[in-house]
Amino acid sequence: MEVEVKCINKTDRQNPHERIKNIGGFQQWKLSEAEAIAGIEAGTWQFYVNVNNRRVRVIVATRLGVKYLKTENDGDHPNNLLSLPECP
């Protein structure tokens, strides 16, 4: 299932380097980062963000042995995800 991510929650919204806690959409859904990672790795979910009317995939990356979510074209900085509004 392919789903657009339209909002996020971070553990500390003021810190741009803090990890993503949840991803969600405005159709009343929200998953923890761990649930999203598990869904991507199992092939159950495919997530994307809309950047300039273009779909950019959300992928699982690993840094210092810790898995996290980012978009595929962000390098080490998941700016496409971090720039999304806060989920309710």
If we measure between CA atoms, which residue out of 63, 74, 76, 68 comes closest to residue 8? Answer: 68
Sort residue 70 into left (φ over 0), alpha (ψ -120 to 50) or beta: beta
Q: Quick check: 67 pLDDT over 70?
A: yes
Please tell me the pTM assigned to this model.
0.81
For every residue of 5-65, which 3-state class applies, written as one string? CCEEEECCCCCCCCCEEEEEECCCEEEEHHHHHHHHHHCCCEEEEEECCEEEEEEEEEECC
The answer to whether 47 and 36 have CB atoms below 8 angstroms apart is: yes
Tens-place pLDDT, residues 24-61: 997 788 999 999 999 999 999 999 999 888 899 999 98
pLDDT at site 12? 77
* pLDDT over threshold 70, residue 69: yes
The mean predicted confidence, pLDDT, of the chain is: 85
